[in-house]
Amino acid sequence: MDRRQFLTLSPDRAVRNVTSFARTRTGLAPYTGAWGSLQQIHLLKRTLFGVSPGNINTFKNLSMQQAVDTLLTPQADPTPPVNNYGVDDTGVAPGATWVRAARGDEMLERKRIASYKAWWTGQMINQPASIHEKMVLFWHNHFVTETSMVNDSRFIYQYNLTLRKHALGNFKALTKAVTLDPAMLVYLNGYLNSKGAADENYARELHELFTVGKGPDSHYTEDDVRASARVLTGFRVDSTNIVSLFDTTQHDITNKQFSSFYSNKVISGKTGPDGATEVDDLLNIIFLQPEVAKFICRKLYRFFVYYDIDQATETNVIAPLADILRSSFYDIKVTLNALFTSEHFFDPANMACLIKSPADFCVGICREYGIAIPGDYTSQYKAWAFIHDRAAAMLQNFGDPPLVAGWEAYYQEPAFHELWINTDTLPKRNRLSDGLVSSGGVGGLRIDTLAFAARLPHPEDPVALISDSLDLLYRVGVSDKVKDFLKNTILLFGQSPDSNYYWTQAWNAYIANPGDATAKDNVQGRLQALYKYIMDLSEYQLS
């Protein structure tokens, strides 16, 4: 497959039964087809950052529903980030957490934000068998804040916890929590919103980007934005306790009228502390609008299934999935369960059709190969920062999406995820994989090809080794010609095509005496060449 092919992702595959005007007509009916490694790896690739042999072993004996239940299990909050940067004028000792310390000066805040970004990358790399970590990234792209604009590391970390707390919970509850979160109040000027001078920044994004969106049936008005801004007046930030407060003297107590799109509802102005409850009234009005469920289901679909939503998908998947979201009172876990157990999700048309995001590529390569991360915290943070910086260079800077709308690859029509790949980012991907698989590694990290091969079922058999590797690392099949090249030219080093025993003998000799440098180098060199070649092909960019 060449670069143009995997960018265009032609839907003309023999396994599909589709018409000229629809990719597929499958819907949310429960999937009842085969449940083998193909389907298991597809599910894991979409819900985790990379899939390791260990993940396959964990899930291979589970039913589809058991696998989905496992993946949808929320995780506890991780240990907070620590001082890996050295001198801290606020008194935070090296190795101690800074998340509740006093705010530092500009230089210290930059160091703490770098610490936070490395820490978050480490959470992705250490992701358990749960979608929770990937949902944190999803919500970060939906409810965007930027560290460079919030500029308070404590607020930034607290915001990450807000996303974690609600990642697999209730979308309406998450929306309220985000609305009142100190980081968001700073990022979109909510803390400046006062009676007589209502700031519309957050109110506009609440409608346009966070709830009803800009779809063809979304018809909120400028008056709705203005009314929402007045509802949200009076909220302030407590920089000491890292919470939001409500200043009753700065709240607009007049009535707020909404348009026919919101059924001409009126929020009666409230005085005193009761004014803070107008946020609940506002969200109740917004969440009665069916467009909220449709909008968020489209975003979930583009993130986990495919970027192009044609009319068949809108009718057969988005609309019924939105009904499930609404009938469950906006329960994200229930909604994802319906999607991940549907015939549509396991339709061959929806396999190997996404280009890996930088997160999936950079974090995924660490996870699928089981790259060893140093044990001491200073080395850990250095390794995590290296992976973060590589992803940022490939256009996905965790913590700093380029716009309030998020990363363009998740929303920009018509290219969508094709935007991840260009003449700058593709070579950077190849350089990272080439460096990691080399003997010296890169950034203090290295793919141990011997350990990776040993985790496969039959590493001594060159045919099985190549087949199992491709099943795990690729989501599309390759030709017999490519497989023959991998075996005969790389593993067998030009030996006779029937000389499978050549590799078998070499592997067994290494296993029998791993301390023999010659035996080790012989096998390791061939494995490094094998996996370098595999990762340099276009197929490795697909999920």
* DSSP one-letter string for 266-279: EEPP--GGGGGGHH
Span 325-347, average pLDDT: 98
Judged against a pLDDT cut of 90, whether residue 327 lies above it is answered with: yes
Range of the domain at 495: 448-541
How does pLDDT run across 291-316, given as a tens digit for each residue?
999 999 999 999 999 999 999 999 99
Comparing 15-24, 108-117, 283-292, 521-530, which segment has the lowest mean pLDDT?
Answer: 15-24
336 class by beta-carbon count within 10 Å (0-12 exposed, 13-18 middle, 19+ buried): buried
pLDDT at 1 (0 to 100): 43
- Residue 16 — pLDDT band, cuts 50, 70, 90? very low
- Taking the C-alpha atoms of residue 308 and residue 131, their distance in angstroms, rounded to an integer, is 23
The whole-number pLDDT of residue 497 equals: 57
Per-residue pLDDT at 7 exceeds 60: no
Q: Could you write out the three-class secondary structure of 346-390?
A: CCHHHCCCCECCHHHHHHHHHHHCCCCCCCCHHHHHHHHHHHHHH
The confidence score (pLDDT) of residue 501 equals 81
Check residues 501 and 498 and name the one with the higher pLDDT: 501
Out of 9-13, 166-170, 238-242, which region has the weakest mean confidence (pLDDT)? 9-13
| Least confident interval from 51-55, 166-170, 187-191, 526-530 | 51-55
Residue 309: CB partners within 8 Å, gap ≥ 6?
298, 301, 302, 318
Contacts 24+ apart (CB under 8 A), 187-194: 187/144, 187/145, 187/146, 187/149, 187/150, 188/404, 190/232, 190/235, 191/235, 191/236, 191/237, 193/229, 193/232, 193/233, 193/234, 193/235, 193/250, 194/233, 194/234, 194/250
Say if 48 falls within a structural domain: no
pLDDT greater than 60 at residue 153: yes
| pLDDT higher than threshold 60 for residue 20 | no
Total domains, the chain:
1
Evaluate if residue 488 carries a pLDDT over 50. Answer: yes
Report pLDDT digits (tens) over 30-89: 999 999 999 999 999 999 999 999 999 999 999 999 999 999 999 999 999 999 999 999
**Better pLDDT: 501 or 269:** 269
Per-residue pLDDT tens over the stretch 96-148? 999 999 999 999 999 999 999 999 999 999 999 999 999 999 999 999 999 99
Question: If we measure between CA atoms, which residue out of 390, 311, 364 comes closest to residue 118?
Answer: 390
- List CB contacts of 210: < 8 A, sequence separation 6 or more: 142, 143, 175, 178
The answer on pLDDT for 19 being more than 80 is no
Asked if residue 115 belongs to a domain, the reply is: no
Residue % of the chain over a pLDDT of 70 = 95
Establish if 472 belongs to a structural domain.
Answer: yes
Percent of the chain exceeding pLDDT 90 equals 92
Q: Looking at residue 22, what is its pLDDT? A: 84
Q: Where would I find the H helices in 14-83?
A: 37-47, 53-59, 64-71
Helix (H, G, I), strand (E, B) or coil at 250: helix
Residue 228 clears pLDDT 50, i.e. is over it = yes
Task: Judge whether residue 495 has pLDDT over 80.
Answer: no
Is pLDDT at 367 greater than 60 in this prediction?
yes
d(CA 180, CA 216): 29
Taking 80 as the threshold, does the pLDDT of residue 499 lie above it? Answer: no
What average pLDDT does this structure show over 167-185? 98
Q: Tell whether 516 is covered by a domain.
A: yes
Q: What confidence score (pLDDT) does residue 52 get?
A: 93
Report whether pLDDT(2) > 90. Answer: no
Residue 498, pLDDT score: 62
Encoding tokens for residue 134?
């990937």
pTM (predicted TM-score): 0.94
Q: Look at residue 488 and tell me if it is in a domain.
A: yes
* pLDDT at 318 (0 to 100): 98
**No. of helices (H) and no. of strands (E), the chain:** 25, 4
Considering only the C-alpha atoms of the chain, give the largest distance between any 2 of them, rounded to a whole number of Å.
86
What type of residue sits at position 448?
Answer: D
pLDDT value of residue 493: 76
pLDDT at 215 (0 to 100)? 86
Residue 510 lies in a domain: yes
Mean pLDDT over each residue of the chain, to the nearest integer: 94
Q: What's the token pair of residue 180?
A: 């009142």
Instruction: Report if residue 38 sits inside a domain.
Output: no
Strands (E), 99-182: none
384 domain residue, yes or no: no
Q: Is the dihedral of CA 178, 180, 184, 190 positive or negative?
A: positive
Residues 239-264 have pLDDT tens digits of 999 999 999 999 999 999 999 999 99
